[in-house]
A and B are shown apart, each in its own frame.
Chain A
């Protein structure tokens, strides 16, 4: 894209700004901040990626992935404050999912072990694992809150914490993974997936683009299911003490 064409894309920022101003929506400040941040962040990433690709050093690849994981954990852990030790639980979850998926991809030689493949795929895995963690935590904490008396019932009848949270846990796991599964059903019908669109615009063969998109879709299925199950089994024990009592959440 020529620099002039790139600058002209700012028209798409001006439209919401003008509308917001005339209709008093008060979105101007956020829009400007979002625009500036996206320009800086994406260019920074672009140059960093270029550097990493050129250097072709596994150290930089690892560093890059560590950075992604750090940002993802930071983001997701804001949602699970009610669960003690949530920070390291999300860290373990995301790292485990990343290691598992890369092990399969590289181990079976599905993609070449180069930065060009490892980094973008890691980005999608880590990003989706983060989103799933957030979805799961939202659902799980609200299930636990609304089903408190059932949890107490099962404990009172001599059940273990695991038995007491079983329904809430599986409901939260299902609810958080269903959107991923559902969205695959309409894939390609309603909208072209972003990655595939990007590849096609950049000049790739559409069938080739489809093949990669399928790889990513299947990868994200594993990411979704493994993330929420792992996080679920890591989180529930910290809601109980060693006397198998519900720990009161101080939500002040």
Chain B
């Protein structure tokens, strides 16, 4: 069995909302420079795990290390730029697609050139025609593409992708998958990718976490999903567990 250097490590992490346990205790790692797919039924706590990774929320107990450093010791804005996230519902700020692509840099009082913005757009499969379109007039899939591009602008070392292809057609999905794989290979970016599509989880993932009811029930190379050892994972993969 291969061992990986962890980019992010969870040690006995628990998280609850109003006394209701949501996560944990979870212990596990996301290997550096790899694509980890994160799967599990709706409400299992997948989004919660990602938000813990970039400090949008903090664990009640346990420890989360990013490249060996506790998240709590890092400056929040620096942590969130280092560990970038594309949010599940791809929210847009008011204004044009350009305004949205410019947002990550504007938050640091920097600007992005139109050419650069167009090249990000083309990376996610949108033509330059979209640059000055109103963000509120995009379709669900187009919004997801802009959201992905916007997350990439920060050039994070670790990328958290929360169901970024759920609203995309087959061809667009392929395009995004190859873009993320390319980024992973070219820059050694660590990717953590939540998906409900198990085929996708196996085909793009090097490594997989299976989360059920806030518990990390199985981790390993992505092909574990083809023949899971755990009974609950077996039922989840067969579509019997929701």
Contacts and interface: CB of A to CB of B under 8 A. Distances in A.
Interface of A: 149-150, 152-160, 163, 167, 243-245, 248, 250
B57 A245 contact: yes
Contacts, number: 62
Interface string B44-63: 00000000001111100000
Given A157-B107, A157-B150, A250 B18 contact: yes
Contacts of B17: 248
With most chain B CB atoms within 10 A of its CB, the pick from A150, A157, A160, A250 is A157
> What 4 pairs across the A-B complex have the smallest Cβ distances?
A158-B81, A244-B76, A149-B91, A159-B107
Interface of B: 17-18, 54-58, 72, 76-78, 80-81, 84-85, 87, 89, 91, 93-94, 103-104, 107-108, 150-151, 154
Contacts of B89: 149
A156 B56 CA distance: 7
Contact of A155 (B80, B94, B150): B80
Given A158-B108, A159-B107, A150 B91 contact: yes
Nearest to B93: A150
A160 B76 CA distance: 9
20 contacts: A152-B91, A154-B103, A154-B107, A155-B56, A155-B76, A156-B56, A156-B84, A156-B85, A156-B87, A157-B104, A157-B150, A158-B77, A158-B80, A158-B104, A159-B77, A245-B56, A245-B58, A245-B76, A248-B18, A250-B18
Contacts of A250: 18
A167 B54 CA distance: 23
B219 to A, nearest CB: 25
B225 to A, nearest CB: 28
A250 B17 CA distance: 10
A244 B55 CA distance: 9
Contacts of A244: 55, 76-77
A149 B87 contact: yes
Contacts of A160: 77, 107
Contact of A157 (B18, B58, B154): B154
A153 B77 CA distance: 12
Contacts of A150: 91, 93
Nearest to A246: B56
A245 B55 contact: yes
A153 B151 CA distance: 10
Nearest to B81: A158
A153 B87 contact: yes
Contacts of A158: 77-78, 80-81, 104, 107-108, 154
Contacts of B93: 150, 153-154, 167
Most chain A C-beta atoms within 10 Å of own C-beta, residue among B54, B58, B107: B107
A152 B56 contact: yes
Contacts of B103: 154, 157
Nearest to A250: B18
Contacts of B91: 149-150, 152-153
B33 to A, nearest CB: 22
Nearest to A163: B107
A244 B104 CA distance: 16
A183 to B, nearest CB: 28
A249 to B, nearest CB: 11
